[in-house]
Structure 1
Amino acid sequence: MIRIFVVTLILALSLSAQASENKMVACIDDHPPYQYLADEPYGSHISDLKILAKLLEKELSYIQSPNFARCVALLKAGHVDVIAGLNETEKRKKFAFYAPFKLADKLTVITKKDITINDYSDFQGKIIGVPRGSTYFAKFDNDTSLKKVSIQNQRIGLSLLVKERIDLMMANSYMLNLHLPDIQKSELKISTMNFDEERAKETYFGFSKKNELGLTEEQVVKLVKQGFERGDFLPATNP
């Protein structure tokens, strides 16, 4: 009886491990138009996650989070396998590895109507809204001389701009197109700045080093890079 129990337990644990390795858990937050939280999540990054799951031959599931910072914490702890659109930082390299899936979208700056931004130095003295957990490029992220305040998301940021609670925030073209009527109605200003020399040229999937995909880091990166080079994933809107 003991031998039968032990064999049964080993078999159950083996099947459980195999079931885990057949799944890929992604953390998503509400970040239109990349990600929309719903019973069936949708958005461009959701589509890319589905393509990723096919490349890795995994069944995709989601953990829906109230904000991006929570997703990063879950990735660090190994409770999720991947995040779409995780910027690379020295701190995150300790618990995550990366693979590119599209060229990076351009960044613009949205400001109150009486503020003009021509170059990076114009950020000085301004109250800058930064969505929780978001990073842009090392020079900005590490600049302690700037007045940066945490905001829930970019949509909240727009309302804070209208109420003059913040002076500016950065956004991509997707977000601009999505909210352009509100931006124009509120007489907010849009400034185009060239951050290409400061920013990463590509957008990455960030994988937890504690992932349960059953693949090595080298295997995951190779498969994703091959998909990126073939053009399997959705392209950036303005590379």
Structure 2
Amino acid sequence: MKFFLAIMLVLSLYSTKQAFADHEQILVAVDHAPPYSALDEKGNAKGLILDILNYIKHHSDEDITVKAVPCPFSRCIRMLAQGEVDVMGGLVRTPARESQMSFVTPPYMALSSSYVFYGHQHSQVKVERYEDLIGKRIAIMRGAAFFPRFDKDTRLDKVEVPSERVAIDLVLKGRVDLVIAVEDTADLAMNVLAQPAHQLRKMVYRHTQVIYGHMAMSREFAQSHVGREFSNHMRQMAENKILDKLVAPYQLPAIPPQLLSEETGRMHSNTF
């Protein structure tokens, strides 16, 4: 009996050690989406999600490394859903995505902004109300989520492209009529991408809402010890205002206090 218990203890210790070993390196999907994430010509990545994860790493008891995996947005999403990477940042939470990955709360990005549509400044295209989008060719980034009415509308002619740069280029070349973008970040992004924003014209119609950007984890990583610890760190960083300091250099606002109170309420309700 003692021999059996000893064997079980050894196996348990081995399993625990192996679980930690599986996540000695956290793979982070990073797409080129300035100003919040960027890839240089050599494929080196930088950005807010890496800043957050590296902060957690330096304040964690685990001996782990954080490795960026550069990828186009749609491929990043697919890799996360398939568990080929562990983490991705800046994702809008949707039911479809929740069925494939685990979202960390609270979000670390909270923009009170508008989704707007840009066309070429010399085009005759006008969008003064939502229905004016019908019949227009609209470039959207493949795999991205915008606002529910737009996302679900099968009447619209949406042209999927791999990146924001390509979407804007198609408008400038007259191959599509419009591109959809977040107003607060579009001009800055075009400046970083060295694209001629002055050649674009903003349409009258806009959809305004609070846009939340979350860290999301693969389902396997979210269930691991390291994944759970990282989720706990995110909540603590939000409560201690550390997260606000990390997002400030990216001209992002602080996390709204009601988000923290809502999250705390959900956690307490789940304990009963």
- Alignment of 1:29 with 2:31, yes or no, is yes
Indicate the residue corresponding to 1:3 in structure 2.
Answer: none
Unaligned runs of 5+ in 1: 1-5
**Residue 110 of structure 1: CA displacement?**
1.5
Identity of aligned residues (%): 22
Contact between 1:97 and 1:206, CA under 8 Å: does it hold in 2?
A: yes
Contact between 2:134 and 2:155, CA under 8 Å: does it hold in 1?
A: yes
Contact between 2:74 and 2:162, CA under 8 Å: does it hold in 1?
A: no
Indicate the residue corresponding to 1:47 in structure 2.
Answer: 51
Measure the CA separation in 1 of the matches of 2:236 and 2:15: 33
Contact between 2:80 and 2:217, CA under 8 Å: does it hold in 1?
A: yes
Instruction: Say what the alpha-carbon RMSD is for the aligned residues.
Output: 3.1
Indicate the residue corresponding to 2:143 in structure 1.
Answer: 133
- Give the 3 Å change call, closer, same or farther, for CA 88–227 of structure 1 in structure 2: same
Aligned counterpart for 2:208 among listed residues 181, 193, 196: 196
- Alignment of 1:80 with 2:85, yes or no, is yes
Pair member with larger Rg: 2
**Residue 130 of structure 1: CA displacement?**
0.7
Higher helix share: 2
**Which amino acid is 2:50 matched to?**
I
- Alignment of 1:234 with 2:261, yes or no, is no
Q: Is the deviation greater in 17-26 or in 143-152?
A: 17-26
Q: Secondary structure at the match of 1:210?
A: helix
Aligned counterpart for 2:116 among listed residues 99, 104, 108: 108
Aligned counterpart for 1:70 among listed residues 70, 75, 99: 75
Higher relative contact order (CA 8 A, sep 6+): 1
Indicate the residue corresponding to 2:95 in structure 1.
Answer: 90
Contact between 2:138 and 2:159, CA under 8 Å: does it hold in 1?
A: yes
**Which amino acid is 1:166 matched to?**
V
Measure the CA separation in 1 of the matches of 2:229 and 2:58: 14
Q: Secondary structure at the match of 1:157?
A: helix
Q: When the two structures are aligned, how many residues end up with a matched partner?
A: 229
Measure the CA separation in 2 of the matches of 1:71 and 1:155: 17
